[in-house]
């Protein structure tokens, strides 16, 4: 049956190491549910439901030893699969945190993955294999920023045709391209999730950085701590490799309103006043911070935050600006510079790279023990 054979040999599957009887997943029980969303009527008795958030709840069979669960939120073009096993079949962060006694909630952002997208709502976009390789998995081959050549931790070549890359790229999906819409529906979904599960820690990656800020802004008392893995930034701008200076985050950290004291108007054509600060060291960018006197990030100020940045990522040069911006707004934000901590060779998807569990160990220590939360910037 040549047709079926063609399907079968398309993408190699990486099982649990060399011995299929060795489970890589920590035993857990799974349930799922949806939060948020609403019926959408076109007035013809053919209503649809939209903007709901898919949530997968994993509970360790051995029982939980931590009082608050962890909520994982993936970034652009991703889904909740990011936190399951890695593309080369090793243990991912969800299982690892279950192993350490946490209950885990994994979401698919509204309009993404198992959270349905309703045709006609905005425009969908995708990333090509070449973009994923250039920005995330094979950055050393492109050398687009000063730290890119240091990348060694992605399993495999990180380029099209490499079987591990092909597995990862197969998991990349289309996304709503209107970032204000994305931020609005994720803030609503995240708040509904916290209302349902109660106080939790949030771990958010990349494009989910602003989503984490907005969810914490809506439910500051329910976010025990937040770990931001290379959150979208830096403040006001989105510098990917284009070095674009366009203002895409008019509220500093987000495209839609955050709570400041004194308050700011929510006009999207206007942004918070900012001033430019010179780079702190070679290889780093300048930072746009609030003009003096800075307004306080009134709701975020009570939420401890850890910003984690890898050595070779396009974020290596600018994440420190996000930390400074948060600190300027009164937030207890700490910078975890993996390179400085002796963890080398990672890029933007470090939570699934070869040393992903070494990094998880440090993150867990920070979440577990508030006495270890020492400011580093």
Please list the active-site residues: 206
In the complex, minimum distance from the CB of residue 338 to ligand NAG, in angstroms, rounded to a whole number: 8
Tell me: does residue 337 bind ligand NAG (CB under 6 A): yes
Tell me: does residue 259 bind ligand NAG (CB under 6 A): no
Q: Figure out which of the listed residues 47, 244, 340, 361 binds ligand NAG, where binding follows CB under 6 A.
A: 340
Tell me: does residue 243 bind ligand NAG (CB under 6 A): yes
Residue indicated by tokens 């439901």? 49
Q: How far apart are CA 322 and CA 320, in angstroms?
A: 5
Q: Transcribe 74-96 into DSSP letters.
A: --TT--GGGGSS-TTS---HHHH
φ, ψ for residue 8 (rounded to 5)?
-70, -35
Give, in order, the Cα–Cα distances in Å from 360 to each of 154, 186, 325: 16, 25, 25
Q: Of 183 and 225, which has the nearer Cβ to ligand NAG?
A: 183
Interacting residues with ligand NAG between 1 and 60 (CB under 6 A): none
Range list of H helices, the chain: 2-10, 93-99, 129-132, 163-170, 179-197, 208-218, 319-328, 356-368
Convert residues 75-114 into a mask of x (bound to ligand NAG by CB under 6 A) and - (unbound). ----------------------------------------
In the complex, minimum distance from the CB of residue 113 to ligand NAG, in angstroms, rounded to a whole number: 18
Contact yes or no for 72/98 (Cβ under 8 A): no
Q: Figure out which of the listed residues 123, 269, 292, 371 binds ligand NAG, where binding follows CB under 6 A.
A: 123
Q: How far apart are CA 66 and CA 260, in angstroms?
A: 32
Query: Which region among 28-36, 111-119, 240-248, 300-308 touches ligand NAG (by CB under 6 A)?
Result: 240-248
Q: Which of 180, 158, 179 is nearest to 167 (CA)?
A: 158
Tell me: does residue 125 bind ligand NAG (CB under 6 A): yes
Q: Of 313 and 337, which has the nearer Cβ to ligand NAG?
A: 337
Q: Which residues of 210-249 are buried (b: 16+ CB within 10 A; e: fewer)?
A: bbbbbbbbbbeebbbbbbbbbbbbbbbbbbeeeeeeebbb
Q: Figure out which of the listed residues 72, 320, 336, 366 binds ligand NAG, where binding follows CB under 6 A.
A: 320
φ, ψ for residue 200 (rounded to 5)?
-155, 160
Q: Figure out which of the listed residues 67, 244, 266, 375 binds ligand NAG, where binding follows CB under 6 A.
A: 266
Tell me: does residue 287 bind ligand NAG (CB under 6 A): no
Contact yes or no for 30/56 (Cβ under 8 A): yes
Beta bridge partners of 50: 38
Beta bridge partners of 48: 40
Tell me: does residue 241 bind ligand NAG (CB under 6 A): yes
Q: Of 79 and 255, which has the nearer Cβ to ligand NAG?
A: 255
Tell me: does residue 245 bind ligand NAG (CB under 6 A): no
Tell me: does residue 257 bind ligand NAG (CB under 6 A): yes
Interacting residues with ligand NAG between 129 and 188 (CB under 6 A): 146, 177
In the complex, minimum distance from the CB of residue 228 to ligand NAG, in angstroms, rounded to a whole number: 15
In the complex, minimum distance from the CB of residue 163 to ligand NAG, in angstroms, rounded to a whole number: 29
Query: Which region among 48-56, 207-215, 239-247, 326-334 touches ligand NAG (by CB under 6 A)?
Result: 239-247
In the complex, minimum distance from the CB of residue 177 to ligand NAG, in angstroms, rounded to a whole number: 4
Tell me: does residue 281 bind ligand NAG (CB under 6 A): yes
Name the percent of the chain in helix, strand, coil, to the closest 5: 30, 20, 55
Residues near ligand NAG (CB under 6 A) are: 123, 125, 146, 177, 241-243, 256-257, 266, 268, 281, 283-284, 320, 337, 339-340
């Amino acid at each position: 049956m040549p047709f079926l054979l063609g399907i079968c040999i398309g993408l190699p599957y990486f099982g649990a190491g060399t011995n299929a009887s060795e489970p890589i997943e920590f035993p857990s029980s799974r349930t799922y549910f949806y939060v948020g969303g609403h019926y959408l009527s076109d007035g013809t008795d053919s209503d649809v439901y939209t903007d709901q958030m898919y949530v997968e709840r994993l509970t360790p069979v051995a029982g939980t030893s931590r009082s608050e669960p962890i909520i994982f939120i993936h970034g652009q073009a991703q889904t909740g699969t990011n936190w399951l096993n890695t593309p080369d079949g090793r243990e991912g962060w969800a299982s690892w945190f279950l192993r350490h006694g946490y209950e885990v909630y994994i979401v698919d952002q509204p309009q993404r993955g198992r959270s349905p997208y309703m045709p006609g709502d905005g425009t969908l976009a995708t990333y090509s294999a070449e973009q994923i390789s250039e920005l995330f998995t094979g950055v050393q081959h492109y050398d687009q920023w000063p730290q890119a050549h240091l990348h060694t931790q992605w399993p495999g070549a990180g380029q099209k045709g490499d079987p591990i890359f092909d597995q990862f790229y197969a998991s990349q999906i289309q996304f709503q391209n209107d970032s204000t819409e994305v931020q609005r529906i994720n803030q609503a979904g995240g708040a509904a999730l916290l209302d349902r599960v109660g106080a939790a820690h949030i771990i958010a990656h990349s494009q989910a950085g602003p989503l984490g800020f907005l969810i914490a802004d809506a439910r500051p008392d329910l976010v025990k701590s937040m770990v931001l893995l290379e959150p979208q930034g830096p403040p006001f701008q989105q510098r990917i490799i284009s070095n674009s200076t366009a203002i895409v985050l008019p509220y500093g950290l987000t495209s839609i309103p955050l709570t400041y004291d004194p308050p700011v108007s929510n006009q999207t054509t206007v942004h918070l006043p900012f001033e430019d600060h010179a780079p702190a060291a070679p290889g780093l960018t300048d930072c746009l911070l609030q003009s003096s006197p800075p307004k306080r990030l009134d709701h975020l100020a009570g939420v401890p935050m850890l910003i984690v940045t890898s050595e070779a990522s396009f974020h290596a040069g600018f994440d420190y600006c996000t930390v400074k911006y948060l600190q300027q707004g009164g937030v207890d934000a700490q910078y975890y510079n993996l390179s400085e901590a002796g963890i080398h060779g990672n890029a933007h998807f470090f939570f699934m790279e070869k040393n992903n569990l070494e990094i998880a160990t440090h993150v867990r220590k920070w979440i577990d023990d508030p006495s270890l939360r020492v400011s580093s910037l």
